[in-house]
Structures are given as C-alpha cells and as structure tokens.
C-alpha cells in the first residue's frame, strides 16, 4: 500500500528533522563523554598520595633501623629517603595535587604546617649521630607523618568521590545515546550510520580511558625524559631477581654507570642540550642491553646516573666484555643541537650468585666499585672486591672518629730535623701530623688527611697542628725554625690570616721562626686568592715555602707569581740521584734558579750519604730525610736537642749540630 504523497513527504520531513535532532544530540553527548573521560583522568591523584604515604612510612622505618644500629649505611639510607620525602612534598604542592590540596582550606593549612616542620627537620639530618638531633627529628616526623598519611588517604577518597560522579554522568549520557539510537532504528540506513558513528565514538572514549590508565602506570615506572625504567621499576625488577624462590636465573651482575664530562656539556650548551644528550645515551644503552638478554634492563636513577641489571649465566659470564663495549659505545661522539660532543663513562660492576651470596647487596657493591673507579681516574671499569667494603667501612669509622681524635689529642705533630747541608748543623724541624688511634693504632697521614679534606675537618686539623707545633717549639733554641703545611682546604675554607695571627699571639711563638708550606696544586686552584693570602702572611714576618716542587704541575710561572722564601725539591728527584743523570741536572737547574731569586732550597727524602754529597755539591742549602732523622714525637726531640747541646756545647743563640 502506497502512502499518499503528502504523508510520504511528511515522513521524509520528519525523518530529516529526526536525523538533524539525532546529529545535534549525538554531537553534544559525544563532547560531554570525552570531557567526562578527561575529567576522570584529571582528578586521579590517588597514586601520588599513596606514594607520599609509603615514602614517609619507609623514612620512619629507616630511622628506626638507624637508631637500632647507628651504622653509616643506615644513616645514608635515612638521608636518601629524607630527600625523597622532601621532594614528594614539593611535588604535592604543584600541578593536580596542589588543586586537590587547595580544594579544602583546612587541608592547605595542615599541609603548609607539615611541610614547614619537615623542612626544619631536613636541615638536621646531616647530624644524625647527635642524640639531640635524633630526638628532634623523631618529634618532627611524629608531627608530619599523620598529616601526610591523612592527606594521602583523603586523596584516594577524593578521587573516588569525584570519579563516582563522573562515572554516573557517563552512564547517564551513554543511556541517552542508546535510547536515542534504538528509538530511531526505523528511520532507516541514515540513522543506522549515525548509530555506528556513535558506537565508534564510544569505543574511542573507552580506548582513551584505557590508555589514560596505562599512562598513569607507565609514568609511575618510567623516567619522563628518556623513557627508561626509573628507580622504582628497577627496584621491583632487582627485588624479583634477588628472590631465590622464583626459579629464575641465579647469576646477576649490576653496572653502576656515571657519565664523565656531562656537566661540561650542560654548562656549555645548556640544559636542553644536556637533556638531548641523556636521551641519546639512554638509546645506546637500551640497544646494547637488549642485545645481551631478554631479562636484562637499564634504568636511569637521575641526573647522569644509569644502572644496568644483567641476569643469567651467559650474560654475567660476559660482564667484563659487555662493560667494555658500553664504555666504547658511550665514548663515541654525539651530535647534539648541531654540535658534536664527546663524553665518557665510568662503570662500577658487582657480580652475584644469589644462590650462594644472598647476603650481599650487588647494587650497593656496584656503587662502591664506581666510587673506586672515579677515584682511580674515571673512564674505566672496576669490579667490586670485598676489600672495597672494608675500606669503605674503615673510612667511615675514621671520618666519624676524626673529630673526637682532635679533641682528645690523639692527633699531634711529629718533628723531622732539617740540617744545613754544608755544616750538618740543625736549623729547624718540619711538623708532620700523626694520628695514634686508641683501637686501630697508628693511622697513616696519606689515609686520614684526605678524609679530613673531604669531611671539612681539615681546618680544625690544620689549626690543631699549627697551635701544638708553635707551643712546643717555644722551648727550642732561639734560632731553630719550624715548618708547618697549609692545605688547599684550609686556604679556601678558613680565615687563614686570622687563624695564624691568633695562634702566634696565644703561643708567643715568633713569626720570624715559622715557615708555612704550600703546594703547587694550591696555586693552581685559586692563584689570585692564594697569592693575596700568602702576601699577607709574609707581611707578618712568616717565611713561605713552595712544597713538593717538581711533582704534579711544576710550572715555573709559580716562581714568579710570589716572592717565595724557600723551595722544597720533592723526594722523587732525590731518590734518582746517582742513577739518573737528568735528576741531578734538574736539581742543579732549580738550585741555580732559586739562588738567583733569593730562595733557600730544601731537599726532601735524603737517605744516603751519597745523596747528601751530591746535593751539597749541587748547592742545596738544607737537607731533610732519614739520613738525619725520622719524624719523632716531642719527647724524643728534646732528647735529640740535649744530645746535640752536650756534644757541641754551642751557644743557645747559635745553630745546634746534629
């Protein structure tokens, strides 16, 4: 039965009107659905809040472990997690989480108070050994932890509440779309196409929601710059690898990789170029590690620090070759922002059979090996050895005991005689620091002085030796001089002029009998500052000596940068006398030059009569070494002086024969 034309036309018109209505309503609903999905992703702050709660919980646990053990390793872990929590609080106060905090004014007040309390506590973590500091930190953590826990927990509740409303809105919008589609099926093919388009829109929305959820997980476990697994992801993989019950590979190797020269690129080309360089390094490492096995991963821990985990006997057996290949690959030039740059790398390696050495921690061992590699000159691969941990623990103990040793008088000067090379008469002593540890015995200067330098205790050490030497030398005959070393750390960190002036005033030691010795490395580090300080010290009447001349840098330009009183030839040249003609030629040239410049020349390390005779013939003025006496404590110095006086019966105002 045919419909009347008028009816058909009305149906056609009604269909087009319905189609237009469907199109308009569908557009509105699709836009609202996409907006709801975006809002769902926007308000998901659960992970960030949970991470802060877990990090604070871990910090309190580590603090408890440290209070129980008092070990430097636990102290280092406490300091590390304190920095992580401090960073987490800064992260909470930015982006979406900041919006969540600002959502409730009382939450903002509590957060600001907690962040301020923790900021006050962070300044104290460097002094964890102090019980008063420990009590203060625990008190601060007791104030901050509940607030972080509450805010983190509320973040989940807030997210659930907001997303619940969004989901209800999505359900409502989807229901309208389905009703509209089913009601207009009879309109025909055009409306069917509209429904298909609607379904495709819904699929896009669902895919966007799934991708958003996957994105959150990916961000939590990967470095935002390089795309490599981050510290959290590496820790998860590492813990799984260390699990002896999972039946996986038993052999592990960990590479701790530090880039050499990255800071120079950053400073020269800017941070954007530095980021591009890190991405290029990550790509090379990813490619190389993936070739060595499916279970192996490379992670970026931050900055220019990367860590590689190798699993399985095949990969671990080649760990030395793989490390060498990584060094070679990372050392190839990079093209960064149209500039060619070259960097290097240093690698610390730790190998573990987890079935046998489960008590070891290869991640920490690799880091110790890396520190040893950098100390040896960088650009190399060093494999962990148990002695490294013993050295690390010994160094930590010496560093912690150094301050009390200075206070207890366990560090004091020994004195080595200096004699006139022509007459053999005693002209003075060099004061050399010595440490007699109550439990470990004598500690060599080349072991504890670098520790004092790096731990900022070199200033107090230098003051202690200078004060003791000047005080004890007050009983020496009036013409004897005393030489004391000044380190780079003292010159750069302390008011040296004020310190020396105070010591001379408190001890009464004459400035004219004091010689201060500095090395060429000090002249290299801060030439203008050093020259200005030395000029002021010389103005007090003190003599200034350039120590260890002939080693390291040995630039003759240093001889004209300052009016030196004394030049000390290093023991290395003296050792070769009689065997190496060039050493004698160098010494004669230095003596001739120094004499023309009005300097005294002191030869160190004189141990044989042959060396003594050669040096005397070359024109050296003063000799010092085992031939004339080893470094000795003050009591033995007094005996030496008494024997010299008894043998020669000289006038107290004249030099003393030895």
The pLDDT mean for the chain works out to 83
Axis crossing angle, helix 386-408 with helix 362-375, rounded to the nearest 10 = 70
C-alpha span between 310 and 238 (Å, rounded) = 10
More confident residue, 46 or 5: 46
CATH superfamily of the 231-384 domain: Reverse transcriptase/Diguanylate cyclase domain (3.30.70.270)
Average the pLDDT over 432-453 and give the result: 92
Q: Give tens-digit pLDDT for 567-586.
A: 998 888 888 887 777 778 88
Out of 299-303, 480-484, 493-497, 567-571, which region has the weakest mean confidence (pLDDT)? Answer: 493-497
Task: Kindly tell me if the per-residue pLDDT of 132 is higher than 80.
Answer: yes
C-alpha span between 183 and 304 (Å, rounded) = 62
Out of 77-81, 362-366, 476-480, 607-611, which region has the weakest mean confidence (pLDDT)? Answer: 77-81
Report for 55-64, 142-151, 173-182, 320-329: range of highest mean pLDDT: 320-329
Task: Kindly tell me if the per-residue pLDDT of 649 is higher than 50.
Answer: no
Cα–Cα distances (Å) from 615 to 371, 420, 571, 618, 622, in that order, read: 42, 11, 12, 5, 9
Task: Kindly tell me if the per-residue pLDDT of 128 is higher than 90.
Answer: no
Task: Kindly tell me if the per-residue pLDDT of 462 is higher than 80.
Answer: yes
The domain ranges of the chain are 15-221, 231-384, 396-653
User: Across 251-391, where does the E strand assignment appear?
Assistant: 251-260, 297-302, 305-311, 334-336, 339-341, 344-353, 381-383
Residue 657: which pLDDT band, with cuts at 50, 70 and 90?
very low
Average the pLDDT over 460-475 and give the result: 94
**pTM to 2 decimal places:** 0.57
What percent of the chain clears pLDDT 90, i.e. is strictly above it?
Answer: 32
More confident residue, 466 or 376: 466
pLDDT at residue number 4: 67
Q: Which CATH class is domain 396-653?
A: alpha beta
Task: Kindly tell me if the per-residue pLDDT of 357 is higher than 70.
Answer: no
Q: Give tens-digit pLDDT for 217-263.
A: 456 678 889 999 998 888 888 888 877 666 666 788 999 999 998 98
Task: Kindly tell me if the per-residue pLDDT of 527 is higher than 90.
Answer: no
Nearest to 368 by CA among 341, 335, 390, 338: 390
């Amino acid at each position: 039965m045919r419909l009347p034309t008028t009816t058909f036309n009305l149906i056609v018109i009604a269909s087009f009107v319905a189609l237009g209505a469907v199109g308009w309503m569908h557009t509105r609903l699709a836009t609202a659905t996409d907006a709801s999905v975006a809002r769902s992703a926007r308000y998901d702050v659960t992970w960030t809040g949970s991470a802060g709660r877990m990090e604070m919980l871990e910090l309190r646990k580590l603090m408890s472990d440290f209070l129980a053990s008092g070990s430097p390793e636990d102290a280092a872990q406490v300091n590390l997690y304190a920095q992580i929590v401090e960073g987490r609080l800064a992260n909470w106060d930015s982006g979406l989480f900041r919006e969540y905090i600002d959502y409730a004014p009382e939450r903002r007040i509590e957060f600001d108070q907690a962040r301020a309390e923790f900021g006050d506590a962070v300044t104290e973590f460097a002094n964890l050994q102090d019980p008063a500091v420990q009590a203060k930190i625990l008190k601060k953590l007791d104030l901050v932890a509940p607030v972080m826990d509450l805010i983190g927990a509320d973040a989940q509740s807030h997210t659930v509440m907001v997303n619940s409303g969004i989901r209800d809105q999505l359900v409502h919008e989807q229901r309208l779309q389905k009703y509209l589609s089913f009601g207009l099926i009879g309109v025909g093919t055009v409306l069917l196409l509209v429904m298909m388009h609607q379904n495709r829109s819904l699929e896009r929305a669902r895919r966007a929601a799934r991708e958003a959820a996957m994105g959150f997980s990916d961000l939590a476990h990967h470095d935002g710059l390089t795309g490599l697994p981050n510290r959290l992801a590496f820790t998860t993989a590492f813990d799984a690898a260390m699990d002896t019950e999972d039946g996986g590979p038993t052999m592990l190797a960990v590479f701790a990789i530090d880039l050499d020269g990255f800071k120079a690129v950053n400073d020269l080309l800017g941070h954007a170029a530095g980021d591009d360089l890190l991405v290029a390094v990550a790509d090379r490492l990813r490619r190389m590690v993936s070739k060595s096995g499916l279970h192996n991963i490379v992670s970026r821990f931050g900055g220019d620090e990367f860590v590689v985990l190798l699993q399985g006997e095949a990969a671990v057996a080649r760990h030395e070759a793989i490390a060498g290949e990584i060094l070679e690959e990372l050392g190839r030039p990079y093209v960064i922002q149209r500039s060619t740059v070259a960097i290097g790398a240093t690698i610390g390696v730790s190998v573990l059979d987890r079935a046998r050495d489960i008590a070891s921690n290869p991640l920490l061992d690799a880091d110790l090996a890396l520190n040893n590699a950098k100390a040896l000159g960088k650009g190399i691969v060093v494999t962990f050895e148990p002695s490294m941990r013993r050295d690390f623990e010994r160094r930590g103990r010496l560093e912690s005991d150094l301050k009390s040793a200075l206070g207890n008088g366990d560090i004091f000067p020994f004195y080595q005689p200096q004699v006139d090379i022509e007459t053999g008469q005693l002209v003075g002593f060099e004061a050399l620091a010595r440490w007699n540890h109550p439990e470990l015995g004598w500690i060599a200067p080349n072991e504890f002085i670098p520790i004092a330098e790096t731990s900022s205790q070199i200033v107090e050490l230098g003051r202690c030796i200078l004060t003791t030497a000047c005080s004890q030398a007050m009983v020496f005959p009036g013409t004897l001089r005393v030489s004391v070393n000044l380190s780079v750390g003292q010159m750069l960190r302390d008011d040296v002029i004020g310190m020396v002036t105070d010591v001379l005033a408190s001890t009464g030691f004459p400035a004219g009998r004091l010689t201060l010795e500095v090395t060429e490395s000090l002249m290299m580090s801060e030439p203008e500052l050093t020259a200005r300080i030395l000029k002021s010290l010389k103005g007090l009447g003190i003599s200034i000596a350039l120590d260890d001349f002939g080693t390291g840098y040995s630039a003759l330009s240093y001889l004209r940068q300052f009016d030196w009183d004394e030049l000390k030839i290093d023991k290395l040249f003296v050792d070769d006398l009689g065997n190496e003609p060039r050493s004698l030629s160098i010494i004669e040239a230095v003596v001739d030059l120094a004499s023309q410049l009005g300097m005294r020349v002191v030869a160190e390390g004189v141990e044989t009569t042959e060396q003594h005779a050669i040096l005397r013939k070359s024109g050296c003025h003063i000799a010092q070494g085992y031939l004339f006496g080893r470094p000795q404590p003050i009591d033995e110095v007094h005996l030496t002086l008494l024997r010299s006086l008894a043998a020669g019966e000289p006038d107290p105002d004249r030099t003393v024969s030895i």
